[in-house]
């Protein structure tokens, strides 16, 4: 990645003796392998960071202006602390403003700031680009204003600031992944308890590949809201018949026993969530025992659940997963993210990558889209870079 300090200094016409006033934070994107369609704020995930990052450089100004520069897009935004609010047209700058809002609400004496953003996380994919900006910005601002604040407090306050700034509910999962990542480790994350368990990746002969289906993005929020309402309804009925605090307290047999003649869509959505929790537990065991077959089986079954029970897949992503399933030596493939297009991932033995990618010619002929692939690997957590 290009030297962000040089870019920042040039953009804001800072002299070469000002490097000590420029602080840079870096945060990776993240990928969710399992669990990304669970119960709101109480799901379990299998996740990892990815080696695509966002860097945020910040330096103080002498006036009260807030200046923002997205170096990779060549875009500039500006505002003042008095006008620190969400603006639709500010897009990426809003995520820096979220972190600023946190420290303003805490009473920190902030004057003007220069901000530069530079990153290589694909913005159109669900890989936590926005959350990486927030975390990197918050780490830098903590260094400036409240360096004794702990990580847990920072994440809780950042999540609360996000909810206030955007006036909507905010999930902690991506923050937890970005701040707790470790090189070559998967993360098992309990969002409700803010608990993160690191599990070493034992499959060293395999590559983690992302495949962008290139299916045109649509506004899927209304569809996802319907599915969330279905699982809320399912949990409400379950908890009335037998006490439980979340879907983690139930099994598939509980659903069969307790739900009776419940609406079929509610039953299927709820059953998917319960089975996904069990799959994550199975995968954690498979990783500990280096059981490739059990790991692959859980991942493939998860995609089948997304396709047949949660109904967020599409023919293009189903095709990509099916072709992976046909190759002996692929440790699972699945849709990841919001669905209705977007990305699949596959964990592929190194010598089989070319064989799988040869199938893309058929994909393009059938669907008219040319998929784009990314090789990724888990990296270390977000941090402030040495000066």
Give a yes or no: residue 358 inside a domain: yes
Same domain flag for 193 and 212: no
Task: Answer whether residue 381 is part of any domain.
Answer: no
pLDDT for 261: 60
The answer to the question of residue 167 being in a domain is yes
pLDDT in tens, the chain (387 residues): 569 999 999 999 987 665 568 999 999 999 999 999 988 878 899 999 999 999 999 999 988 899 999 999 999 999 999 899 999 899 999 999 999 999 999 999 888 999 999 999 998 888 999 999 999 999 999 999 988 999 999 999 999 999 989 888 788 999 999 999 999 999 999 998 999 999 999 999 999 999 999 998 778 889 999 999 999 999 998 888 888 888 999 888 888 777 666 788 999 999 999 999 999 999 999 999 999 999 999 999 999 999 999 999 999 999 999 999 999 999 999 999 999 999 999 999 999 999 999 999 999 999 999 999 999 999 999 999 997
Last residue of a domain, one of 181, 200, 219: 200
| CA–CA separation, 335 and 348 (whole Å) | 15
Res 21: pLDDT: 86
Which domain-ending residue is among 151, 171, 200?
A: 200
* Within a domain: 58: yes
What 3-state class would DSSP assign to 357?
helix
In 7-64, beta strands by DSSP E? 23-34, 44-60
Looking at the chain, the number of H-run helices and the number of E-run strands are 12, 12
Active site residues: 174
370 found inside a domain: yes
Q: Are 122 and 215 in the same domain? A: no
Residue 33 is part of which domain span? Answer: 4-200
> Same structural domain for residues 181 and 238?
no
pLDDT of residue 118: 97
pLDDT at residue number 257: 78
- Kindly state whether residue 385 falls inside one of the protein's structural domains: no
What is the value of pTM for the model shown?
Answer: 0.94
State residue 146's pLDDT score. 85
Query: Which pLDDT score, from 0 to 100, does residue 100 have?
Result: 95
| pLDDT at residue number 111 | 87
Residues 42, 177: one domain?
yes
**Rounded CA separation 169/92 (Å):** 19
Q: Does 277 lie in the same domain as 155?
A: no
- Give yes or no: residues 148 and 214 share one domain: no
For residues 125 and 110, what is the distance between their CA atoms, to the nearest angstrom? 33
User: Is residue 383 domain-resident?
Assistant: no
* CATH number of the CATH domain containing 240: 3.30.70.890
- Identify whether residues 214 and 229 lie together within a single domain: yes
pLDDT at residue 18 in the model: 58
Structural domains in the chain (count): 2
pLDDT for the residue 256? 79
- Could you tell me the CA-to-CA distances from 22 to 6, 56, 108, 271, 348 in Å, in that order? 10, 10, 19, 51, 41
CA distances from 268 to 18, 159, 234 (A): 59, 31, 9
- 8 and 152 together in one domain: yes
Q: Which residues contact 302 (CB under 8 A, 6 or more apart)?
A: 34, 276, 279, 334
Q: Which of 184, 200, 216 is the last residue in one of the domains? A: 200
Do residues 171 and 304 both lie within one domain? no
Assigned domain for 288 exists: yes
Residue 173 backbone phi and psi in degrees, to 5 = -55, -45
Check whether residue 270 and residue 369 sit in a common domain. Answer: yes
Contact 196, 381 (CB under 8 A): no
The domain spanning residue 171 has which CATH number? 3.30.230.10
| Domain match, 16 and 111 both | yes
Q: How far apart are CA 374 and CA 46, in angstroms?
A: 19
Both 286 and 262 in a single domain?
A: yes
């Amino acid at each position: 990645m290009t030297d962000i300090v040089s870019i920042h200094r040039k953009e804001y016409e800072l002299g070469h003796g000002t490097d000590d006033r420029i602080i840079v934070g870096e945060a990776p994107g993240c990928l969710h392998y399992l669990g990304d369609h669970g119960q709101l704020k109480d799901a379990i995930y299998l996740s990892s960071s990815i080696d695509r990052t966002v860097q945020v450089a910040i330096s103080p100004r002498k006036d009260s202006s807030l200046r923002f520069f997205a170096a990779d897009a060549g875009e500039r935004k500006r505002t003042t602390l008095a006008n620190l609010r969400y603006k639709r047209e500010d897009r990426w700058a809003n995520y820096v403003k979220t972190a600023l809002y946190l420290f303003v609400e805490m009473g920190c004496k902030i004057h003007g700031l220069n901000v530069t953003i530079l990153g290589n996380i694909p913005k159109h994919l669900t890989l936590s680009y926005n959350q990486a900006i927030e975390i990197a910005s918050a780490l830098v601002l903590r260094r400036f204003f409240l360096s004794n604040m702990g990580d847990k407090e920072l994440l809780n306050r950042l999540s609360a600031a996000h909810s206030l700034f955007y006036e909507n509910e905010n999930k902690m999962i991506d923050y937890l992944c970005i701040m707790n990542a470790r090189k070559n480790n998967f993360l098992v994350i309990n969002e409700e308890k803010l608990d993160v368990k690191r599990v070493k990746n034992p499959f060293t002969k395999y590559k983690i590949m992302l495949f962008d289906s290139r299916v045109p993005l649509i506004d899927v929020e209304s569809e996802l809201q319907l599915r969330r309402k279905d699982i809320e309804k399912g949990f409400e009925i379950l908890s009335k018949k037998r006490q439980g605090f979340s879907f983690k307290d139930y099994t598939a047999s509980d659903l069969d026993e307790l739900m009776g003649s419940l609406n079929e869509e509610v039953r299927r959505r709820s059953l998917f969530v319960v089975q996904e929790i069990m799959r994550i537990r199975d995968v954690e065991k498979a990783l500990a025992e280096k059981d490739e077959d059990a790991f692959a089986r859980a991942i493939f079954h998860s995609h089948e659940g997304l396709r047949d029970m949660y109904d967020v897949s599409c023919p293009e992503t189903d095709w990509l997963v099916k072709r992976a399933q046909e190759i002996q030596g692929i440790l699972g493939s699945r849709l990841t993210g919001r669905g209705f297009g977007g990305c699949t991932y596959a964990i592929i033995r190194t010598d089989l990558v070319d064989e799988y990618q040869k199938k893309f010619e058929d994909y393009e002929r059938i669907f008219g889209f040319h998929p784009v692939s990314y090789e990724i690997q888990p990296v270390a957590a977000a941090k402030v870079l040495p000066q």
